[in-house]
Amino acid sequence: MLDRIFPRGALILSFLSFVYFLTGIVRNRVFANTFGAGPELDAYNAAFRIPEIALDVLVAAGLTAPFVPIYSSLRHDDEGAANDFARTVLTAAVVVITVAIVAIAIAAPWLATQIGAGFDQRTRELYVTLVRINCLGQVLFAASICLGEVLVAHRRFLFYALAPILYTTGIIAGTVIGAGQFGIVATAWGAVAGAGLHLGIRAVGTLRTSFRARPAFHVHTPAFREFVRLMIPRMISHPIEPAIFTFFTALASTIAVGGVSAVNFALDYQVVPVSLIGIAFSLAVFPTLSAAYADRDPSTFRAVLGRNLVTIGGLTTLAAITLFVGSGILVRVLLGGGRFGAEAVATTSAIVAAFAISVPFDALAYPLSRGLYATHDTIRQVIASFIGFGTVLAAASALAPSLGLVAIPLGYAVGMAVKDVLLAAFLLQRIRGLSRSAGPPQAASAT
């Protein structure tokens, strides 16, 4: 019964995600105590933006949706072909990000004048140094992301989820050990070391699978062509989430002084149950859904997806109620005091409570999206995401004149609900198609 409610790997992913949040808190405290809110930390934070965007757009965004379904389909018939495909994706990802990173490193002085337009000359020079150091880490991350998808396909979630914790640990260690002598440059090298640990732990994890990492470039195969076809829509839709949060910032700035900070603080609380439950639990069943689709087994697909939706929906509803009821205490205890007075506590608490409404809707989008990805479909998820984005903009803008800052979380909840409905409708179509194409022999062998 426990396995039916909590899919294998979900609790490991949730627990280690929580540990990752805790290490993030420790990292922020170390930063605050070591550097304060000064130009060094500004340069460090700014130096990560462009290289990380390149990694997200060129590798992470497109790779995480189609890799596991295609890899699982290939493993169904030929383990060797699946591993050749994985090696080709690994090689291509490293080559592509290396080319992009070299261009960014060369352009770093120009980027310093654009991204750091308000920096003084010394801070701009520091920015250039930090960008170039950070570029090394992105190449390691590209390889690690590919190995991570192999681990997900093989359900090796422990090694997968330990990687982000080790990365943050590297940053903390670099700061504590070297900041006194080398300043924030030591932190940047700590981030590179952390990226090496991120890759290393996942490489160790793959030793317990049939996959062995080595260069391969079999790009003229049907599997790789399908991979490219499926990843392009995800790359196009990647800017949607940053665009939503940019819109929140712009709208909040027009409603009230301090509104941007209040919304950002509230989002920090809203994302926790979504990550620990929605993202972790949907990732845990992703390889099972992909394998069921490869086996043309609609009954297993429906059963696993249905249990996942019920579990995520139920747990995140409880989390939302808890967040709604406890928003005042949470904000007062964790943020209240000093210049964050009673009025700021009240405003932020109201926004946290309103964001709580969106938690189940936001979380349910992940298993529904993973279900579509498992059926080798990324276009419909992109359509639902764009329509949801438009709904968020329209609803929040319409509600803002009468509700103020609370309109932002309420608009977000409406947009996520619309997105869920569309994802569910699209996924139902895919499942019906799977049922029609499934034959008795395949269903029998799958069970």
pLDDT tens-digit profile of 213-271? 999 988 899 999 999 999 998 888 877 887 887 788 888 888 887 777 788 788 888 99
Whether residue 17 has pLDDT greater than 80: yes
Q: With 60 as the cut, is the pLDDT of residue 376 above it?
A: yes
Give the torsion through C-alpha atoms of 420, 424, 430, 435, to 10 deg: 150
Q: What is the mean pLDDT of residues 305-315?
A: 94
DSSP for 152-201 reads HHTT-HHHHHHHHHHHHHHHHHHHHHHHHHHTHHHHHHHHHHHHHHHHHH
The pLDDT confidence band at residue 423, using thresholds 50, 70 and 90, is very high
3-class DSSP state of 340: strand
Q: What confidence score (pLDDT) does residue 442 get?
A: 39
Which DSSP state fits 63? Answer: H
- Would you give the DSSP letter of residue 375? T
pTM of the entire structure?
A: 0.84
Place of tokens 């699978």: 209
- pLDDT of res. 9: 83
pLDDT given for residue 28 in this prediction: 81
At residue 437, the pLDDT reads: 63
CB atoms within 10 A of CB 250: 10
Which of 311, 287, 431 is closest to 360 using CA atoms? 311
Residues 323-372 have pLDDT tens digits of 999 998 888 887 777 767 888 888 889 999 999 999 999 999 999 999 99
